[in-house]
Every structure is written in structure tokens, then in C-alpha cells.
Amino acid sequence: MEELMEILEDICPDVDFENEKALMDDKLISSFAVISIVSEISDTYGIKLTPADIIPENFNSAEAIWEMINRLKGGKA
């Protein structure tokens, strides 16, 4: 999770990823930021995200992103 937090903070340094729970719903991260996050987590964790994975529920919080990574890796992230 620490590595994920570094990725998120590098892409969106002004967002409080530790406390925010509605990143997409409150428009705290842009669609461009989501694409950057998808690219970085794909490279870092060796996972492929499909369009079905790129939904607000998976990107509303750092915890939701982490859960998605774990799910896509089969619980091995």
C-alpha cells in the first residue's frame, strides 16, 4: 500500500489520499489522472485493467484502488 500511496501522491500531489473517500464522485482526480494511475499500477504491479475495471467505485479512495489491485492479482499484491 505504501508504494501505491507514493504513486498516487506523485500523480496528484494536492489530494489527501489518506482521508478522501470520494475521489471520483467529488471530482478530486481528473480522468487524465485516472489514466496515469492505471498506467502506473499496471506497470508496478504487473496487472492488466480492462475498461470494466475503470469505474468510479474502484477509484474513489486509495483503499478501493488497493482492493482492486489485490483482486486483479488474485490476492497477492
Q: Where are the domains of the chain?
A: 2-72
Tell me what the mean pLDDT of segment 51-73 comes to: 97
Classify domain 2-72 by CATH number: 1.10.1200.10
Q: What would the grid cell of residue 61 be?
A: 479512495
pLDDT tier at 77, thresholds 50, 70, 90: very low
Asked if residue 34 lies in contact with residue 59, where contact means CB atoms within 8 angstroms, the answer is: yes
pLDDT digit string (tens) for 16-56?
999 999 999 999 999 999 999 999 999 999 999 999 999 99
